[in-house]
Amino acid sequence: MRKSLFLTVGCLLVALGVSAQIPALERVEPMFWWVGMSNPNLQLIVHGKDIASRKVELNYPGVKLIAVHKVENPNYLFVDLRIFSGATPGTFPIKFTKAGEKTLMYQYALKKRDRSPDRAQGVTNKDLIYLIMPDRFANGDPKNDSVAGMREKGINRTKMFSRHGGDLQGIMDHLDYLKELGVTAIWLTPAVENDEPSASYHGYAVTDHYKIDPRYGTNELYKQFVEKCHAMGMKVVMDLVHNHAGTEGYTIQDMPMKSWVHQWPKYTKSNFRDAAVMDPHAAPSDRKQMLDGWFDHRMADMNENNPYLQNFLTQNHIWWVEYSGVDGFRLDTYPYNDPGYMAKWAKDVRTEFPRLSIFGETLVWSAANQAFFTEGNVVNRGLDTHLPGVTDGVWKEAVYDALNAHEGWTEGVNRLYSVMAQDFLYKDPTKNVIFLDNHDMSRFLSVVGEDFTKYKSGMALLMTMRGVPQMYYGDEILMKNFSNPDGLVREDFPGGWPGDKDNKFSPTGRSVKENEALNYVKTLANYRKNTPALQTGKMMQYIPENGVYVFFRYDAAKTIMIAYNSREKEQEVKTERYAERINGAEKAKDVITGETIDVSKLLLPAKATLVLELLPKSTH
């Protein structure tokens, strides 16, 4: 940690003009742009030694210099351009002149937009998302394991918080594996540069918003990764961090102005209490600490009320979509961001890319808390967030209860029923992302005590309930462990590194139980992939009875019946109660085994789930 940024007691210094070694013209961002954008306005951030002492000049048909803003730090200029509809693709010089000194010049490019139909196509409830931490999945290019000039050198796979060497090429090398598994969308934790001295492999301490971390690859390789996914019928979700940035980034080490980040007399952490944002009785100081407090010493809290920062972030995110063609955004730490800015951001981004999907990480304790952050809920807010969906952590906790807890009026399996009954809180609950675990929490298999029957039931619920299902890498091969104290939930995928003892990408490298788990997940995922009733169909659920929870997914073509026995003993269930939805069907196909069974009564093993496709009488 640089002493120029923090005092030993943790007080934030206003780092203005401290980077004496920067070039006279260090960077211009966005580095290039496109003609034909819905918003004709573009604000360039220009960084260089005493750049504010220079005059800005440009001359290009269809482009007008509107304003040049000087700010507190003389190493910055913010340059407003308007790109009119008649502008054509091309390159032109932006000149930075000063009497008696050599003119600085930047060749700015305006490009033609790519209108291909598979770009920015959105991730929906028709998809299955597979979450990957790039550093922990596969090492496809050992040459980038250590990059000159980066603060953290080399790899050390024996230490969980060191770099392990996974990269974009490693993921690209295993896309066939994911395709066969039934995955239709890949979400990577942030792949942009995190040049912190240690433990930034996770990607959430961004130091360069416009650059893929060179230990993962290049911007061009990221674009190729998206293109290859699209060619194989898979989509890509990009992980964004609005709330904070790594302290080693140039805009933090040499801040444009005092208000670029939230300033405190001494280091102040967020209280992490989302209720303070929505509580009509909340103390203003609690709300301020929730929104403006820092996430970590090395994660500066960005001041999203600053209009220059707003433009910087929004344009960066639009740039990545247009440049790479990604299909959706996952928004990290959503509740900690400024609500007004995030609502504006969502509108601005989706104006440019109407099909782009967006979901925010909430990780709160109730459905009401989650719904508060989604679009359409304007009570006590005075704004619409325009956020279509959230990561449905409340659903996850309800599944845990259904699998592990004893049933009660609102406990055990009844909690899952009750959470689903609260879908009235959302404008569209099918846009929520449902999941059983991720990189920030204990792995699902460990949470259910490594009980294989519970594991299969959880996977069945994930693949059949409303919303967009998301898996965490390695769940399909029974990777396990708890999040504390050692972070072992972020272990490497076995077989992703040359010389690994086992290769779990191959059936021969997996145990019998691991192959059984993978085949179970693959069967469900591919069945869901080819069954619209499980994607966009309606849902009807029945109040659990004797610990048995039954719900249906259906459309005009098919009806799928899902029955879960939450008790510790086998049960025979007569199905007369569900006659209105069974609708006269007498037989059903077990989706996992392919067997045809009598639907009038079901034999449910303890903690097991049946996924049944009801068969019309003519197919018996």
pLDDT of residue 10: 38
* Distance, CA of 91 to CA of 502 (rounded, Å): 51
Would residue 199 be called left, alpha or beta, if left means φ above 0 and alpha means ψ between -120 and 50 degrees?
left
| Count of other CB atoms within 10 angstroms of residue 583 | 12
Full set of structural domains in the chain with CATH: 27-111 (2.60.40.10), 129-246+311-530 (3.20.20.80), 538-619 (2.60.40.1180)
pLDDT of residue 9: 31
- Confirm if 575 and 542 have CB atoms less than 8 A apart: no
pLDDT of residue 487: 85
pLDDT of residue 378: 80
pLDDT of residue 16: 63
- Confirm if 390 and 435 have CB atoms less than 8 A apart: no
- The DSSP secondary structure of 573-599, one letter per residue, reads EE-GGGHHHHTT--EEEETTT--EEES
- Confirm if 243 and 262 have CB atoms less than 8 A apart: no
* Distance, CA of 237 to CA of 122 (rounded, Å): 9
- Please name which of 69, 110, 109 lies closest in space to residue 86, comparing C-alpha atoms: 110
- Please name which of 537, 403, 566, 391 lies closest in space to residue 472, comparing C-alpha atoms: 391
pLDDT of residue 380: 62
* Distance, CA of 106 to CA of 184 (rounded, Å): 41
What residue type is assigned to position 164 of the chain? H
- Confirm if 43 and 78 have CB atoms less than 8 A apart: yes
Q: Which residues of the chain have pLDDT under 70?
A: 1-20, 380, 618-620
First to last CA, the chain: 70
| Cis peptide leading into residue 30 (ω within 30°) | yes
* Distance, CA of 45 to CA of 81 (rounded, Å): 11
* Distance, CA of 140 to CA of 144 (rounded, Å): 9
* Distance, CA of 59 to CA of 36 (rounded, Å): 19
pLDDT of residue 13: 46
pLDDT of residue 125: 98
Q: What is the 3-state secondary structure (H, E, C) of 127-168?
A: CCEEEECHHHHCCCCHHHCCCCCCCCCCCCCCCCCCCCCCCH
What residue type is assigned to position 37 of the chain? M
* Distance, CA of 551 to CA of 403 (rounded, Å): 16
* Distance, CA of 385 to CA of 585 (rounded, Å): 44
Q: Could you read off the pLDDT of 547-558 as tens digits, one per residue?
A: 999 999 999 999
Residues belonging to the active site: 332, 361
| Count of other CB atoms within 10 angstroms of residue 470 | 26
Q: What is the mean pLDDT of the chain?
A: 95
Q: Could you read off the pLDDT of 377-391 as tens digits, one per residue?
A: 887 678 999 999 999
3-state secondary structure (DSSP) of residue 557: coil
Sole residue written with tokens 């903690």: 607
